[in-house]
Structure 1
Amino acid sequence: MDALNQTRSQVTALLTRNDLSDEERQNQLLNLIYFELRSMAQRKMNTERKDHTLSATALVHEAYLRLVNQTGLNWDSKRHFFAAVAESMRRILIESARAKASLKRGANAQHTNNLNLSTDDSLGFEMLALDRALTQLESKDTVMSDVVKLRFFSGLNVEQTAMALELSPRTVNRHWTAARAWLITQMQ
């Protein structure tokens, strides 16, 4: 068994034990997958606005801590775990966009419909629209939703997404194309 398959087996074994309450197991899992998580976060942060307050490292740590500190979670596979990581990153970035939008409007300021948004501000609002549309897509097709989360929020390419979801690259491309078209329609 090569090193990659051995690492995958170790990760799967840790995840399917359904007991990450032990700090030693959490550290063991993080050591095995940190590079993959950091790469996912870095690819995503490269697409965010330049003045974003989160770094890729902070995004990884926040997403990871949110996942392992929840009780009663059952991981079926590495695929399931990475889909959850992508969802966690999505939620963190959405919360950040909402907080930024809230600050732009002012805590108790009078609100108007005449917002003059710069490009960076519109990214936050687009992120919120994407989140709403993605939530709708998730209720219609979870696989397409997972593809979008991994491609958009985690920054994985087609091959990496296919590997994470245990699908063929062709299937991922098909889901990615359909999901993008559907999301664009919903966001307009």
Structure 2
Amino acid sequence: MTAPIQVEDGLDALYRGLRLAAHRQLRRYRPGATLNTTALVHEAWIRLSADDAHAALPRDEFLKLASTAMRQLIVDYARRRGAAKRGGGALALELDAESHSDPTSASVLDVVAIDFAMRELGRLDPELERLAECRLFAGMSMQETATVLQRPMRSLERDWSRARAYLTDALNPA
């Protein structure tokens, strides 16, 4: 278990890490999305800092909570934006987190739909949902995810393949 976050030696590094994760995540959206890195990080930070208990959490636990907060914020933003345009202009998210290619490709999916599929995945296996949340909504690399979830890389890679397969099937019904 990692040490609790210490303001004097870890807050700046933690904030930079959250900004990097948010930036990696948001660059996967279609051009024209108005949610930006700073807004996402600040909103997640506000949500997490509202509870003093989060300040005493180990860094990895805090990052897990941050990924959940970012997911909630991104999905809420997508719902608001979609409602404002009566179903149009929904944000999109790439299922393949390694791919940062053409956002109009078939791998780009509606954020709200992927959140729904992830909730269904969580009913079957909460660990797979957590893994998908770290990868898709917090923009973590496999190495970062392995560190945060405190899991061996090989096991995580197998589970990521399972999670992607489930989500792909759920989002692309035959």
The TM tier, using the shorter chain, reads 0.7 to 0.9
For structure 1, which runs of at least 5 residues remain unmatched after alignment?
Answer: 1-7, 16-24, 106-114
Larger proportion of helix:
1
Unpaired runs of 5+ residues, structure 2, are 94-108
Pairwise CA RMSD of aligned residues? 2.6
Higher gyration radius (CA): 1
Which residue is equivalent to 1:160? 144
Distance 1:136 1:77, change over 3 A: farther
Distance in 1 of aligned mates of 2:155 and 2:67 = 19
Contact kept? 2:48, 2:66, Cα under 8 Å: yes
TM-score, reference length from structure 2: 0.78
Given the superposition, is the C-alpha separation of residues 123 and 81 from structure 1 closer, same or farther in structure 2, using an over 3 Å criterion? same
| Aligned counterparts of 2:113 and 2:120: Cα–Cα separation in 1 | 11
Could you tell me which residue of structure 2 aligns to residue 95 of structure 1? 76
Amino acid at match of 1:179: A
**Stretch deviating more after TM superposition (87-96 or 45-54):** 45-54
Mapped to 2, the partners of 1:152 and 1:165 lie a distance apart of 14
Q: Identity, % of aligned pairs?
A: 27
Which whole-Å deviations, capped at 9, do the CAs of 1:72-123 have from their partners, x for residues lacking one?
6596532221111111111111011101110111xxxxxxxxx7x6xx5473
- Aligned with residue 47 of structure 1, among 19, 23, 28: 28
Contact 2:26 2:37 in 1 (8 A): yes
Is residue 14 from structure 1 mapped to residue 5 from structure 2 by the alignment? yes
The one of 105, 116, 121 aligned to 1:137 = 121
Task: Tell me the amino acid that sits aligned with residue 148 of structure 2.
Answer: A
Matched residue of 2:92: which SS? helix
Instruction: Give the Cα–Cα distance (whole angstroms) in 2 for the partners of residues 13 and 101 of structure 1.
Output: 39
- Residue-pair matches, total: 157
SS of the residue corresponding to residue 49 of structure 1 reads coil
CA contact (8 A) 2:44 2:66 kept: yes
Structure 2 contact 4–56 (Cα < 8 Å) conserved = no
